[in-house]
Amino acid sequence: MAKSPFYFDTNYREDTVLADGTLVRLRLVRPSDKELIATGFKHLSPTSRYRRFLSAKTALSESELTYLTELDGTDHFALGAITTLSDGTEKGLGLARFVRQTVDPFIAEPAITVIDEAQGKGLGRLLLLRLMAAAVERGLRCFRSDVLVPNEPMRALLRELVPEASVEPYEDIMRVDVPLPYLPANHPTDEMPKQNPLYRLLTLAAKLSLYAKHLSKSARDSSEAYPKNSNTSLESDEDH
pLDDT band for position 97 (cuts 50, 70, 90):
very high
Is residue 63 scored above 50 in pLDDT? Answer: yes
pLDDT at position 219 is: 40
Is it the case that residue 183 has pLDDT exceeding 70?
A: yes
Q: If you average pLDDT over residues 30-52, what whole number do you get?
A: 82
Q: Is the pLDDT of residue 5 over 50?
A: yes
Task: Assign 157 a pLDDT band (cuts: 50, 70, 90).
Answer: low
| pLDDT for 194 | 52
Alpha-helical regions (H) of 21-110: 34-42, 46-53, 62-69
Could you give the domains of the chain? Answer: 14-225 (3.40.630.30)
Q: According to the model, what pLDDT value does residue 218 have?
A: 44
The better pLDDT of the pair 153, 122 is held by: 122
The C-alpha atoms of residue 217 and residue 89 are separated, in whole angstroms, by 33
For the cut 60, the answer to whether the pLDDT of residue 235 exceeds it is no
pLDDT-wise least confident of 12-26, 39-53, 87-101: 39-53
For 6-10, 13-17, 89-93, 214-218, which range has the lowest pLDDT when averaged over its residues? 214-218
pLDDT at 216 over 60: no
Cβ neighbors of 150 (< 8 A, separation 6 or more) are: 172, 208, 211, 215, 227
Global pTM value? 0.76
- The DSSP-derived string for 148-205 is E--SHHHHHHHHHH-TTEEE-SSTTEEEEEEEPPP--TT--GGG--TTSHHHHHHHHH
pLDDT > 90 fraction of the chain, expressed in percent and rounded: 34
